[in-house]
Every structure is written in structure tokens, then in C-alpha cells.
A = this chain, B = another copy of it.
Amino acid sequence: MVTAAVGVSAQSVEIFGTVDAGFARLSGNGVSKTGVSTGGANISRLGFRGTEDMGGGLKAGFWLEAGMDVDSGQGKTAGVGGLSFNRRSTVSVMGGFGEIRLGRDDTPTFLSTLIFDPFLTNGVGGTMAFAMQGIPGAPGAPIQYSNTVGYHTPQNLGGFYGQLQYGFGEAASNAAYNKAGNYAGLRAGYRTGALNLAIAAAKMNGATAAADNDIANFGASYDFGVVKPMFLYASEKVNSVKISAMQFGFTAPMGAGQLRASYGKYDTSTNNADWSKLAIGYGYNLSKRTQVYGAIARISNKDGAQKSIAPQGMTATGTSLGGSASGVDIGIRHFF
């Protein structure tokens, strides 16, 4: 608010983003949809960030990042279409000890599902091994979380890396359930040369104790050069109800681009409600910053499940109990 205090050094602001739009065709239960989707290869965003070297090995940083649907121009926010920095909004202090962040940030449990999915969780082919939402009353594992304090390890630990995050639910101490909305998570990994391994786990408190969600996942990848296979296991558990995912995938350089494929099995402890998903895709790099991509995916449901495909920017067709669903997309992704 003090005039002298703002714009001290505007030159340090970096603007960044991703703009991604594509065609998609969805089908399920004999119903189909064709249209333009967004975020098929990478989530579209606009961000502002910067770091400041404060001397003595200390730096300060900020990051403000807003997601949006390129196909409609709508920003992403809770419930309404405004541009809010829903994807990341942090202030940091960094040093030899690592980085401490305050604000809204990616959760440790989400980051592992992202890293070990050939489709980076995006488009018709993206994994369903997060926010599985198969558990009655549970919102699914969160992607980002508000009101967090986080710690990220420095990068010089001989390949080991880790993240701790605590999110405050900010319930009043006299609330019926005063842990409501809290999130406590961690991620620990080892990455050296071709190998990358990580585990993550979190407890997310629901609106009541009966809705507390235990989230866990494990991922591994090995880059052979000609192909990089990936494995991902993830689970969510609310009381006696559990849902888990096991996904095998790979990426492989091919020509000026990358081939991607995955097969995931999703098991739930209730009602014969399992499903599986098969996806294959290719991204052709027109340049370092611009890619043309396409993917095709199919979900097969058991009698108690009716999962279908909904990339960002389109609503799902839905399908019948035990029916199948499929999707195909093709698009352009451009970084700036």
C-alpha cells in the first residue's frame, strides 16, 4: 500500500505460462461428443514469478500461477470462472537448507502421480490414479492445497529428494470436528542417472472424522534411452472403503517426438466397481516450445462402475453401469 514500497524492481518478474487446446471426441454408452478441449498435454496457465538473491546464500522468491481453460478463456477458481492463482500462490525462503514455502501449492501426494504418468495426468489419456473419487463422501486426493506451509529438500543430497507439507483447515477449536480440512503429507524419492523412485503419503481430514482420507502412492521409472517404462501404485482409503490403482506405462522417443502409453487397473473394495483404462498417444515437437499431440483412450467398467472420460474443457458423456467409454484428442501445446 505504501507507494514507495511497490515496484522496487519490476525487472525481476518473470511471466510464464502454457496454452494448450485440442479437438476431442468422447463416447460412452453409445453416446458421443466432439469438441475442443484444453490442457490435453499440459495444463494451461499464466503465472508471474521471481527470485531475489539476498546475499549470504539466502534467496527470497514468489510464484503466482493461475490455471485457465484455453477453449473458453475462463479462468479456474472455486465455483466461478475468474482468474485466480489456483494452481500456485507461494512466497518462499530458500538457502542451503532447502526451501520453505507458504501459501497454496501442489500436494506431495499429487506430484508423484504426475511424475510417473506418461500423460502427466492430462488429456483423454491421463491417469486416474489421483482424486479417484470412488469413495462415497470423499472428495478424492487433492491436487493443490490452500493454507499450507511446506519444506522442499535442496538438490544436492546425492539423488535423494523430499517434500513435507502441512495444510491448515482453519477450523475453530470449538468446531464439531476441529481437525476438519487439515492435510499432512510427505514425499521422499531417489533419482540418479536413469532411475527415479518415490513414495508419498498423506492424511487429509474430512468435514467429519468419518470422512478422513488416507492417501498413499509409489512410483518408479527407468530410462533405457529407447524407452522409459513407468510404474505407479496409488490408494485412497476412507474408513473401510479403499480404492487403489496400479498403472504400467512408458514413454519413448520416436522421430521428433514422443510415444506414450499406459494401462491402469482401478480396484475398489465395494460393489464389483472396478475399472481399467488403456491409453496411447504421441506428441510431435514442432519446436522446443510447440507440440502437436494426440491420444486415444478407453475405459472398461465392471458391472458396478460407470467411469467415463472428461478432459479439461469438456464434460463427460457418462456411460451405463458396466459400460465402456472412450476418448480421442488432438491439439497444439505452446509454452511461453
Q: Which of A87-146 contact B (CB under 8 A)?
A: 87-93, 102-104, 114, 120-122, 144, 146
Q: Answer yes or no: A156 CB below 8 A from chain B CBs.
A: no
Q: How distant is the Cα of A20 from the Cα of B90 in the complex, in angstroms?
A: 9
Question: By DSSP majority rule, is chain A's interface helix, strand, loop, or mixed?
Answer: strand
Give, as a whole number of angstroms, the nearest-CB distance from A20 to chain B: 7
Q: How distant is the Cα of A183 from the Cα of B45 in the complex, in angstroms?
A: 27
Whether B168 and A102, one on each chain, are in contact in the complex, defined by CB atoms closer than 8 angstroms, is no
Whether A7 and B2, one on each chain, are in contact in the complex, defined by CB atoms closer than 8 angstroms, is no
Whether B114 and A21, one on each chain, are in contact in the complex, defined by CB atoms closer than 8 angstroms, is no
Q: Which of A4-29 contact B (CB under 8 A)?
A: 5-10, 12-23
User: What number of A residues sit within 8 Å (CB to CB) of B?
Assistant: 103
Q: How distant is the Cα of A80 from the Cα of B61 in the complex, in angstroms?
A: 28
Whether A80 and B83, one on each chain, are in contact in the complex, defined by CB atoms closer than 8 angstroms, is no
Q: How distant is the Cα of A9 from the Cα of B80 in the complex, in angstroms?
A: 31
- CB nearest neighbor in B for A28: B172
Tally of this chain's copies: 3
> In the assembled complex, which residues on chain B have CB atoms less than 8 Å from the CB atom of A19?
62, 64, 89-91, 103
Most chain B CB within 10 A, of A45, A86, A87, is at A86
The 8 Å CB contact of A146, one of B66, B72, B90, is B72
Q: Answer yes or no: A50 CB below 8 A from chain B CBs.
A: yes
Given contacts A1-B121, A23-B149, A73-B88, contact A8 B289 (CB under 8 A): yes
Which of A185-193, A214-222, A233-241, A327-335 contacts the other chain? A327-335
Q: How distant is the Cα of A48 from the Cα of B168 in the complex, in angstroms?
A: 32
- CB nearest neighbor in B for A73: B89
Q: Answer yes or no: A231 CB below 8 A from chain B CBs.
A: no
Q: Answer yes or no: A196 CB below 8 A from chain B CBs.
A: no
Q: Answer yes or no: A258 CB below 8 A from chain B CBs.
A: no
Known: A13-B17, A73-B104. 6 other contacts (CB 8 A): A33-B171, A46-B64, A73-B89, A83-B85, A91-B334, A92-B332
Interface residues in chain A, defined as those with a beta carbon under 8 Å from any beta carbon in chain B: 1-2, 5-10, 12-23, 30-36, 38, 42-43, 45-50, 52, 54-55, 58, 60-62, 64, 66, 68-75, 77-93, 102-104, 114, 120-122, 144, 146-149, 168, 170-174, 286-290, 313-315, 317, 331-336
* Chain A to chain B contacts (Cβ below 8 Å), 17 pairs: A2-B42, A5-B335, A10-B16, A19-B62, A21-B91, A46-B64, A50-B336, A52-B290, A52-B336, A60-B290, A61-B334, A64-B68, A73-B87, A74-B84, A75-B77, A83-B85, A91-B334
